[in-house]
Amino acid sequence: MAIDTPTTTTTTATAAAAPTTGSRGPAPADDRLTGRAKLVLFVLCAAQFMVALDFSVLNVALPVLGEDLGLSRSALQWAVTAFALPSGGFLLLFGRIADLYGRKKLFLTGLTLFGAASLLATLAWDPASFLAGRALQGLGAAVIVPTGMSLLTTTFPEGPLRDKAIGISGTLLSLGFTIGMVLGGVMTDTLGWRSTMGLLSATAVIVLALAPGLLPESRTPDRPRLDVPGAVTVTGGLLALIYSLSTAAQRGFGGADVQGTLVAGLLLLTAFAVVESRTPAPLVSLPMLGRRTVAWGNAGGLITFSMMSTVVFVLTLYLQETLGLSSFRTGLVFGVQGVASAFAGSYAPRVIGRFGARRTLIGSLLGQGVFTAALLAVGTGSGALVATVAVSLASMCHLGAIISYGLTVTSGVPDAEQGLATGLVTTTQQVGLTIGIPLLGVLATTQASLFGGVRTVLAIDAAIVVAAAVLVGAGLGVRGTKKA
């Protein structure tokens, strides 16, 4: 395996570690990770975990942060939106740049930017400096996520080794979100909100110290010209779409800025599709988007992320405002959820090895929908135990869907386009995390009865996931008992 002898040239230098044409190729002798491979995987997963942690570690600290820096309650959403805009909007662009100019090089650049931005947010002296740090963190994350994933998929050959690597990565991704919710509360109470940003800066420094000597360099050999019109339209479209949906989560869809940016985002994404159909070297190959596995795999990923983030949002409201649980006890519920997700992640590669990524994706979506529906059994006087068990089981299925949709989308894609494929995977992830709460979560907060609103959201959520499982299964052509 090439990960035993790191390279500094192109993808062809890692041919022994990963197929260059997207075919499965000869099966590896076994699926055991060598010592060096484990270190490579640790570095890549630590970076992904760090970014996932950033999404949630600050949430419980927002009230304290606002009071300290002088951010009004209405302006607190920008602590989240300032990160979400660049982290989601620039993913496809940086994924493609990494393909052309070097994944390792861009990965290290993203780590440096993320670490410096986290330090700025830690030392922030006013709202402007803090929000600038958050925006630069988001930009760094937009570099780290697609380049880290493409380094993983081009370093580990398609088959058992890649299944195991993506399984571990997906588990840590899920744990990052969950641990962030618990860790953020503990650190804020004991060390102050700045400690949450300081933790991210320290993590970036550790990963940056290990990465250069471990990671192989890879890029597309022919290096075609960057599709600038495509980059401008897709980045602008994603930025506008994420802004409108993030803002709608706080203020609803009635604002002129929300409606205007939503329309602008849709128009820019339409223009992007037209540009890509006419340019000789597109940013996103329309034939790739036409691949059944890419289109339907990403559809499954969009549903699992958007609907599970909605479940976590409304369940937090239910536990704290209906049952009156403290932030700490609510965190324990999600701590159990995190442990369950870790358990699922350790077994997901075995399930995928037996049934195939596509069949596992369908089964995982069905399970997520069924266990989300089980949350309807909670009541106004009690229900913490039911909620803990049901959300943990739903999260186990959600973790299976995360891993299997990533494998479904990237399997069979040439190494030269792995940055693009993983950029699509991670863009789906970011957009999914953004749209679920504004589209469904507001139903829970705008109804006369919060409990009634929570039940309505859970019922709709479960129905959407089950329907998606059926549609994605049909789209992927999964039928019978044949492994797929």
Would the pLDDT of 24 be above 80? no
- Residue 481: per-residue pLDDT: 42
Q: Is 468's pLDDT higher than 50?
A: yes
Per-residue pLDDT tens digits for 57-93? 776 666 678 778 887 655 666 777 788 778 877 877 8
Q: Which of 7-11, 242-246, 413-417 has the highest mean pLDDT?
A: 242-246
Residues in the chain, how many? 484
Average pLDDT of the chain, as a whole number: 79
Q: Cβ contacts of residue 324 below 8 Å, gap of 6+?
A: none
CA-based torsion, 130, 133, 135, 138: positive or negative: negative
Residue 306's nearest CA partner among 362, 359, 242 is 242
pLDDT band, residue 11 (cuts 50/70/90): very low
CB 104 within 8 A of CB 216: yes
Instruction: Identify residue 436 by its one-letter amino acid code.
Output: G
pLDDT score recorded for residue 44 = 86
Judged against a pLDDT cut of 70, whether residue 372 lies above it is answered with: yes
Instruction: Indicate the burial class of 128 (C-beta count within 10 angstroms; 0-12, 13-18, 19 or more).
Output: exposed
Closest C-alpha among 330, 401, 410, 404 to residue 367: 401
* Rounded mean pLDDT, 163-171: 73
Q: What is the pLDDT of residues 308-332, one digit of tens each?
A: 888 887 887 788 778 887 767 777 7
Of 80-89, 242-251, 286-295, 342-351, the one with minimum mean pLDDT is: 242-251
Tens-digit pLDDT profile for residues 205-258: 999 998 888 787 766 666 667 777 887 888 888 888 878 877 776 667 777 888
Taking 60 as the threshold, does the pLDDT of residue 280 lie above it? yes
Q: Residue 470's pLDDT is what?
A: 94
Q: In this structure, are residues 294 and 421 in contact, taking their beta carbons and an 8 Å threshold?
A: yes
Confidence of residue 8 (pLDDT cuts 50, 70, 90): very low
Taking the C-alpha atoms of residue 337 and residue 223, their distance in angstroms, rounded to an integer, is: 44
Mean pLDDT of 189-205: 87
Instruction: Inform me whether the pLDDT recorded for 10 exceeds 50.
Output: no
Q: What is the mean pLDDT of residues 455-464?
A: 94
